[in-house]
Chains A and B, each alone.
Chain A
Amino acid sequence: DGGITQSPKYLFRKEGQNVTLSCEQNLNHDAMYWYRQDPGQGLRLIYYSQIVNDFQKGDIAEGYSVSREKKESFPLTVTSAQKNPTAFYLCASSNRGGGNEQFFGPGTRLTVL
């Protein structure tokens, strides 16, 4: 099946620890995205990548880092510098260019204790 996967679905971490969220797609999409969603709020863009080995900051990149070493993979690291990391994290992919629909993964709910 073609699709986009995220793991794990639930993640618990202690304050001050870095944590990496996985995102993999087999849709052959060039573009990949990371969003954060808080209760009652829309999706806010953290980072996006249009091509391998290149990525750009979104609106709320502080405290996060990414890499894009392979077309299929776009892992997100939530660092200890992120002041309020508890949230629902969504990864998406799409073809490059304007107007293309984004395919979303099932999300990872991160809770920092």
Chain B
Amino acid sequence: SQKIEQNSEALNIQEGKTATLTCNYTNYSPAYLQWYRQDPGRGPVFLLLIRENEKEKRKERLKVTFDTTLKQSLFHITASQPADSATYLCALDGDNFNKFYFGSGTKLNVKP
């Protein structure tokens, strides 16, 4: 299986700043890594996927990096807005690509 670590402490930032969230894993390097957003009491929503041979992926204000040497992915939200406040989960594929392991998530609070 896979052990995934995300910062359990909430990240508090000011509107307009860049938020950076970290996802570390300890075992095998995944072929795929995904980031999801989860609002309270709701199911997660997919944001971005990055493959092991990709260093960086962007989508609008979102950027994900993937460093297989450090066993780490960073998730950036630029020009953050209060509406970005949520919990962000990273997920790594299992050893047979048919399932994913999820981290516990990091809560982001963007203050106006």
Contact = CB atoms under 8 A, between A and B. Distances in A.
Question: For the side of the interface on B, what is the size category?
Answer: 20 to 34
Contacts of A96: 98
A104 B44 contact: yes
Interface of B: 1, 4, 6, 8, 31-32, 34, 41-46, 49, 51, 89, 91, 93, 97-105
Contacts, number: 63
Interface residues of A, number: 29
A2 interface: no
Contacts of B45: 104
A74 interface: no
Which of A48, A96, A102 counts the most B-chain CB atoms under 10 A from its CB? A102
A106 interface: yes
Contacts of A56: 98
A103 B36 CA distance: 10
Contacts of B91: 102
